[in-house]
């Protein structure tokens, strides 16, 4: 059972740390409340708070955002959880006379800390940025205002992705990149950087107006969080984390001292999120072990005192392993999603959707399981993407003991319900405050910490499940045989069949839930996580609820909010642990915020929509019926998708092959990017980089599919990899579009790219076989020198060559239409490509060199059959020679000669569109 008082106290520390730089947002917006007089001397609220919270240099207050933090938290108090009153552990009640250890002061005084809790937030703030003592002192004396062309109002956030790897040709300088993020709420469009001169202009008034607009949107968004959830601190904080991301993802956290060691490439969100995680872990490390907090305060103060460098107490403070980095990794994803040893293909589409959804769901709930076991808030989880999560915890004996117990519980669940087909490994790594320093060294302490973290996860992959443990044996064997009353599951072929889905179709409970999840994903937008099963709400029908508890949690799909306070009764009782919005973006520019914590655990699903007469003819016969009976908004099956690349000729004939493309890809060498590519790596930068790479596939890709490629099933996409299924032709075009958009997303950084494998297949093949084909194709692309490649129609080429081949396909299509090129002529070209490729082999056959003469002869014969209506013999011959030369230049020269067998990519792309 979660220790609610300890969890609530941890949430309060997290809130103070998460909001410590709220003043940067408010001050740049120039909120009017700061300038209101508050005393008889005419002092404004800002004047008073500057004296209380801001450091000074040469008689002038610096970092005045700290004053605005106090002002803005006070303004938001009516919309926040109860942060006043007697029960504010570990803080003193807000406003108590003579006591300044309140939440608002802990947040606002991070540049002038005095109390233990203020030093906790201040230390976390500095560690998140990777500061050394001397660096922070210089930063603390840097003004963050002024009238320069680019100051803290006008500077826009740099992109981390542009600075990865070697400096690019054309960059203005290593310290001044070319791209910025627009100051807009999080949306599929706003995550893309734009040229600096587009969004970064030296006009304070205009810049402040933009911040004020964003501030007002943030306030409106804050009001959307259900009021009834405020009393449930862990639940509310999870919601607020998504709100904070939406409106601060593009606000640069640090703008003072740009050009030195400060680079405005970390958002306010990523900095404050990692600060909150560090603050909670640091506070809990000392508080849980009963340390003398006055002594700890002095220890923290000494860490940042230049006069005490090298003294025993500061050395101990920097080198004590106070933190525990906890990393979770979902292994066996491929087998889990594509495993198919059963005897039925019924419900295949729903099962595929449900299984891919389960990967994200299981990883999210495993992270919640760890957080609850350790009494940590949602913001202690700094990364969750593509089956991996990272949590920062206090390094105490109690933490390690509870973590071991949680791993055993996860193991038992996976052994009982998947027989070890997959699982989640949870590994931990102790870290010192000194490990979070960045330094300008090739191997900085934080770089080395990151390397050790990756190595610990690789080691864990070799030691999955404690199969000799008592819990593991019980999960595998106790009562298992008795559960096979109806035989084995008809879907996975091994689990006990316990649910009858259709007449005579018995499946395992997990398979039944996966199929239901696949159905509900297409109908609902919200997911509730509870600790006990729900009955019907307010006398309504029983909720869409999974049968099987997951790690002790129950999962409910819902689209409607409970009339009495938006699930308020569930929140009040503590039964509601999480409420997640997993809806897809409704537009490319709309803010991704609806009042609930957002999780990108859904993917785009193609739907039929309103079927017109043409569509009905296209899909006729799919259900073995002469006419097609469609249901609006019904998800398409793979059979529907296979027909979506067919076209209707003017003569009323459907042409084009009926097939699917399976697209699998991942970012090349992303591990090296994380470990070696960042300039001055810090905890905040690591978290930001993970979030940003993930966002391309989880935020932008679903929006792209919905708008431009509506026939695409996103089986999974997130982290650094993706697996898509769609109509064969549109999926090939989607692959190219993704490559182009990813290049734009990473600010044209040639050091970051991905490779893909495309496999073309009929829709009747089992999903597992389709996945194997795509995996093989991806492997071939990865084998290309330098990667950054694509495999299509069995040929692996660089993306540059693929772009050229798509141009060649378009040219071939034009010639074929203009000159009515025969099928026989075009298919003969396939043989010539093989012969041309053979000439480049180490020991080619001499006969291969004949392809040119064969091509010339066949092309001449073709030309001689044209222009028979031209009466003038000389003119007729000139036209035939021009045609011969044009076909020779385009097909032989630009096509076969240059690309060899890979020219088949262009040929097949065209020919497949012409088949009956």
- 693 confidence band (pLDDT: 50, 70, 90): very high
pLDDT of residue 134: 42
**Cα→Cα distances 622→628, 643, 649, 808, Å:** 8, 10, 21, 34
pLDDT of residue 335: 85
> Across the chain, what does the average pLDDT equal?
87
Residues of the chain above pLDDT 90, percent: 59
pLDDT of residue 83: 73
Q: What is the DSSP string of 490-540?
A: TTTSSSBP-EEEETTEEE-HHHHHHHHHHHHHTT--EEEEESS----GGG-
- 601 confidence band (pLDDT: 50, 70, 90): confident
H/E element holding 757? strand 754-761
Residues of the chain above pLDDT 70, percent: 88
- Whether residue 412 contacts residue 472, with contact meaning beta carbons closer than 8 Å, is answered with yes
Global confidence as pTM: 0.92
Give 39 or 738, the one with higher predicted confidence.
Answer: 738
Residues in the chain: 916
CA distance 176 to 198: 15
The lowest-confidence range among 269-273, 557-561, 681-685, 772-776 is: 557-561
- Whether residue 23 contacts residue 76, with contact meaning beta carbons closer than 8 Å, is answered with no
The lowest-confidence range among 116-125, 441-450, 703-712 is: 441-450
Q: What is the DSSP string of 587-631?
A: SSSS-S-SSSEE--------B--S--HHHHHHTTTTTSSSS----
Q: What pLDDT, in 10s, does the model give residues 173-200?
A: 445 789 999 999 999 999 999 999 998 8
- 61 confidence band (pLDDT: 50, 70, 90): confident
Predicted confidence (pLDDT) at residue 97 exceeds the cutoff of 60: no
pLDDT of residue 279: 98
CA distance 417 to 191: 39
Span 381-393, mean pLDDT? 90
pLDDT of residue 908: 97
Predicted confidence (pLDDT) at residue 169 exceeds the cutoff of 60: no
The lowest-confidence range among 668-677, 682-691, 796-805 is: 668-677
- In this structure, the strands spanning 381-385 and 323-331 are unpaired
CA distance 280 to 8: 11
pLDDT of residue 334: 84
The count of other CB atoms within 10 Å of the CB of residue 163 is 24
The residues, ordered by sequence, that sit 6+ positions from 20 with a Cβ below 8 Å of its Cβ are 69, 106, 107, 108, 110, 121, 125, 272, 275
pLDDT of residue 149: 61
**Cα→Cα distances 684→266, 433, 435, Å:** 7, 14, 13
pLDDT of residue 421: 86
Q: What pLDDT, in 10s, does the model give residues 718-770?
A: 888 899 999 999 999 999 999 999 999 999 999 899 999 999 999 888 888 89
Find, among 686, 806, 674, 691, the residue nearest to 751 by Cα: 674
Of the ranges 276-285, 349-358, 866-875, which is most confident? 276-285
Span 242-247, mean pLDDT? 98
Half-sphere exposure of 44 (CA within 13 A, CB side): 12
CA distance 880 to 859: 10
pLDDT of residue 627: 54
The residues, ordered by sequence, that sit 6+ positions from 261 with a Cβ below 8 Å of its Cβ are 135, 138, 139, 440, 680
Give 174 or 242, the one with higher predicted confidence.
Answer: 242
Helices 268-288 and 683-695: crossing angle, nearest 10°?
Answer: 130
Q: What pLDDT, in 10s, does the model give residues 298-337?
A: 999 988 887 777 777 778 888 999 999 999 999 888 888 8
Span 62-90, mean pLDDT? 87
Q: Helix (H, G, I), strand (E, B), or coil: what is residue 57?
A: strand
Find, among 21, 34, 449, the residue nearest to 267 by Cα: 21
């Amino acid at each position: 059972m979660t220790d609610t008082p300890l969890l609530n106290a941890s949430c309060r520390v997290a809130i103070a740390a998460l909001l410590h730089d709220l003043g940067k947002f408010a001050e740049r917006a120039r909120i009017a409340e700061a300038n209101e007089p508050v005393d008889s001397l005419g002092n404004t609220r800002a004047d008073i708070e500057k004296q209380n919270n801001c450091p000074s240099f040469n008689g002038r207050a610096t970092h005045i955002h700290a004053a605005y933090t106090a002002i803005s938290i006070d303004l938001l108090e009516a919309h926040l959880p109860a942060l006043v009153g007697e029960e504010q552990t570990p803080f003193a009640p807000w406003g108590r006379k003579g006591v300044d250890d309140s939440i608002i002061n802990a947040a606002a005084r991070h540049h002038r800390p005095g109390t233990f809790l203020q030093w906790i937030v201040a230390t976390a703030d500095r560690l998140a940025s990777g500061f050394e003592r001397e660096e922070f002192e210089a930063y603390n004396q840097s003004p963050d205002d002024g009238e320069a062309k680019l100051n803290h109002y006008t500077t826009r956030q740099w992109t981390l992705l542009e600075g990865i790897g070697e400096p690019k040709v054309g960059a203005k300088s290593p310290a001044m990149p070319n791209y910025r993020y627009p100051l807009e709420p999080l949306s599929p469009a706003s995550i893309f950087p734009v040229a600096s001169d587009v969004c970064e202009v030296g006009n304070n008034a205009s810049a402040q107006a933009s911040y004020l607009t964003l501030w007002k949107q943030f306030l409106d968004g804050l009001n959307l969080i259900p009021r009834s959830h405020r009393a449930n601190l862990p639940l509310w904080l999870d919601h607020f984390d998504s709100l904070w991301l939406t409106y601060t993802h593009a606000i640069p956290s640090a703008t003072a001292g740009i050009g030195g060691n400060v680079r405005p490439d970390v958002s306010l969100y990523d900095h404050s999120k990692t600060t909150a995680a560090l603050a909670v872990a640091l506070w809990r490390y000392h508080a849980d072990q009963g340390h003398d907090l006055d002594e700890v305060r002095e220890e923290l103060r000494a860490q940042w005192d230049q006069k005490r460098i090298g003294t025993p107490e500061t050395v101990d403070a920097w080198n004590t392993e106070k933190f525990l980095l906890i990393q979770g990794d979902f292994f066996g994803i491929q087998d889990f999603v594509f495993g198919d040893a059963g005897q039925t293909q019924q419900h295949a589409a729903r099962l595929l959707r449900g299984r891919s959804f389960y990967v994200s769901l299981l990883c999210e709930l495993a992270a919640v399981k760890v957080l609850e076991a350790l009494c940590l808030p949602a913001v202690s989880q700094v990364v969750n993407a593509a089956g991996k999560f990272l949590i920062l915890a206090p390094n105490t004996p109690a933490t390690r003991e509870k973590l071991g117990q949680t791993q055993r519980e996860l193991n038992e669940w996976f052994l009982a319900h998947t027989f070890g087909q997959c699982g989640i490994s949870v590994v931990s790594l102790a870290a010192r405050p000194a490990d979070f320093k960045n330094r300008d060294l090739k191997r900085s302490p934080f770089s080395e910490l990151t390397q050790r973290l990756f190595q610990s996860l690789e080691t864990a992959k070799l030691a999955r499940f404690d199969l000799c443990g008592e819990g593991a044996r019980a999960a595998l064997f106790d009562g298992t045989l008795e559960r096979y009353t109806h035989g084995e599951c008809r879907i996975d072929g091994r689990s006990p069949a316990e649910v009858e889905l259709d007449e005579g179709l018995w499946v395992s409970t997990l398979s039944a839930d996966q199929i239901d999840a696949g159905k509900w994903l297409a109908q609902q937008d919200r997911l509730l996580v509870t600790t006990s099963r729900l009955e019907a709400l307010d006398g309504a029908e029983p909720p869409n609820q999974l049968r099987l508890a997951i790690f002790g949690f129950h999962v409910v799909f819902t689209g409607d909010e409970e009339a009495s306070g938006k699930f308020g009764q569930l929140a009040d009782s503590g039964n509601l642990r999480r409420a997640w919005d997993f809806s897809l973006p409704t537009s490319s520019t709309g803010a991704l915020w609806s009042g609930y914590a957002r999780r990108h655990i859904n993917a785009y699903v193609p739907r039929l929509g309103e079927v017109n007469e043409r569509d009905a003819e296209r899909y006729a016969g799919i259900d073995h019926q002469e006419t097609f009976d469609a249901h609006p908004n019904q998800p398409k099956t793979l059979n529907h998708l296979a027909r979506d690349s067919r076209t209707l000729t003017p003569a009323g004939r459907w042409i084009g092959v009926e097939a699917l493309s399976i697209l699998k890809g991942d970012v090349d060498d992303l591990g090296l990017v994380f470990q070696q590519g960042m300039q001055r790596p810090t905890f905040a930068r690591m978290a930001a980089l993970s979030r940003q790479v993930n966002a391309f596939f989880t935020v932008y890709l679903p929006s792209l599919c919905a708008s431009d490629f509506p026939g695409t099933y996103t089986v999974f996409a997130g982290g650094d990899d993706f697996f898509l299924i769609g109509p064969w032709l549109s999926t090939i075009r989607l692959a190219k579009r993704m490559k182009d958009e990813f290049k734009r997303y990473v600010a044209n950084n040639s050091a970051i790219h991905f490779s893909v494998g495309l496999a073309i297949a009929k829709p009747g093949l089992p999903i597992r076989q389709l996945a194997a084909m795509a995996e093989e194709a991806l492997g071939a692309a990865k084998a290309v020198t330098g990667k950054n490649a694509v495999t299509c129609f069995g040929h692996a080429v660089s993306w540059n060559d693929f772009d050229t081949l798509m141009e060649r396909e378009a040219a071939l299509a034009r010639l074929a239409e203009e000159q009515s090129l025969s099928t026989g002529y075009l298919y003969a070209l396939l043989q010539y490509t093989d012969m041309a490729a053979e000439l480049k082999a180490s020991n080619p056959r001499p006969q291969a060199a004949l392809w040119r003469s064969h091509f010339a002869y066949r092309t001449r014969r073709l030309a001689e059959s044209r222009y028979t209506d031209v009466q003038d013999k000389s003119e007729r011959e000139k036209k035939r020679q021009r045609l011969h030369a044009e076909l020779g230049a385009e097909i032989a020269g630009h096509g076969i000669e240059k690309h060899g067998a890979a020219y088949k990519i262009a040929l097949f792309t065209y020919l497949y569109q012409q088949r009956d």
